[in-house]
Amino acid sequence: MSQERRYSFEFFPTKTEAGHEKLLNVARQLATYQPSFFSCTYGAGGSTRDRTLNTVLQLDGEVKVPTAPHLSCVGDSKAELRELLNLYKDAGIKRIVALRGDLPSGMGMASGELRYANELVSFIREETADHFHIEIAAYPEMHPQARNFEDDIANFVRKAKAGADSAITQYFFNADSYFYFVERVRKLGVDLPIVPGIMPITNYSKLARFSDACGAELPRWVRKQLEAYGDDIDSIQQFGTEMITRMCEQLLQGGAPGLHFYTLNQAEASLAIWNNLQLPR
Ligand code: FAD
């Protein structure tokens, strides 16, 4: 397996001290697998500004895995974004995940000076030149608010060409959607690495809710199988791990440049897949 492939783990900043301690323990465990980097999400509109900042600085500085903050532009002013970029830059952070974001319900319509992620990518380049490696989001099954698939592809291409270095996908359960997306954007001159985002399956009802909201299709046969397990968490996790492992094998064999695990701040499910795949440590 190519050593140049990259494997990364994503966390979200927690609200409580206890949650934060647990996150640090999970991160320390995952750090022993020597991932390429960690990333930490950002609540659009700045709702997790301090928690994301503190978590990133702690993961990077104390757990000692290079950590990429997510940064979204809806609801944040240019001045607020500039301040965060400078804080990260001064702290030696070298990678950033640039997003539009979704404002939490109740925060009203999108505000802020930058409307789409391509504008944020351009802004980061204007402000900090080549300091950051910029990751962008990709949607093999189409972003749920896109007018149509062609439009979404064109928007992704514009965002990539604004100065991104690589992309991480929304999760999906159908490897063909990933391969088709990559093929489409390659034909339009985008050659940056597009890393599949991997969502381990650990809980059916949460996954179904999440997937509806973000436009990831849970195939009927997977849904039916998970439904049949009811509250039998062990069977759900065993089936989920086998199914996702198989999809990751397909992705890596087909040329995916790595994997990005949506850990949901848990180690076991991502590590079960990592170990099944015998990824490098
Ligand atoms: P964009 O690329 O701006 O696209 C958003 C929509 O607008 C798409 O439908 C696109 O087709 C359309 N569009 C894009 N550009 C234009 C244009 N110039 N004119 C007209 N239409 C356009 N959300 C968070 O709040 N915090 C996070 O930390 C976070 N992390 C994420 C990490 C990953 C890897 C992924 C895949 C998603 C993440 N999200 C996060 C979710 C993301 O913010 C949402 O999916 C959001 O709705 C879109 O963000 P984007 O950066 O893809 O937006």
3-state secondary structure of 114: coil
pTM exceeds cut of 0.85: yes
Residue 208: name the closest of 200, 61, 169, 216 by CA: 216
Per DSSP bridges, beta strands 194-198 and 166-171 are parallel
Task: Give the Cα separation of 98 and 76 in Å (integer).
Answer: 13
Mean pLDDT of 203-223: 93
Mean pLDDT of 54-68: 98
Give residue 101 CA to ligand 1 midpoint distance, Å: 6
Give residue 82 CA to ligand 1 midpoint distance, Å: 20
Mutate which of 56, 151, 155 for ligand 1 pocket (most atoms within 8 A of beta carbon): 155
Nearest CA to ligand 1 atom 7: 146
Residue 1 pLDDT: 43
Q: How far is CA 79 from CA 72, 113, 123, 153, 254, in A?
A: 13, 10, 11, 30, 42
Percent of the chain whose predicted confidence (pLDDT) is above 90: 91
Residue 167 pLDDT: 98
Mean pLDDT of 99-120: 81
Looking at 4, 10, 150, 217, which residue is catalytic? 10
Task: Give the Cα separation of 184 and 204 in Å (integer).
Answer: 32
Catalytic residue list contains 10? yes
Crossing angle (nearest 10°) for helices 49-61 and 78-90: 10
Q: Which ranges in 32-167 belong to alpha helices (H)?
A: 49-61, 78-90, 117-128, 149-161
State CA 159 to chain mean position distance. Answer: 16
Closest-lying ligand 1 atom to the alpha carbon of residue 159: 2
Single-letter amino acid, residue 18: A
Contact indicator for 204, 227 with CB cutoff of 8 Å: yes
Give residue 233 CA to ligand 1 midpoint distance, Å: 32
Position 281 pLDDT exceeds 90: no
Residue 108 pLDDT: 56
Task: Give the Cα separation of 101 and 43 in Å (integer).
Answer: 8
Position 133 pLDDT exceeds 50: yes
Residue 2 pLDDT: 46
Position 172 pLDDT exceeds 50: yes
Position 189 pLDDT exceeds 90: yes
Q: Which residue has the tokens 């640039």?
A: 98
What is the DSSP secondary structure assignment for residue 237, as one 8-state letter? H
Q: What is the DSSP string of 219-235?
A: -HHHHHHHHHHTT-HHH
Residue 112 pLDDT: 76
Residue 103's pLDDT band, with cuts at 50, 70 and 90, is: confident
Contact indicator for 142, 149 with CB cutoff of 8 Å: yes
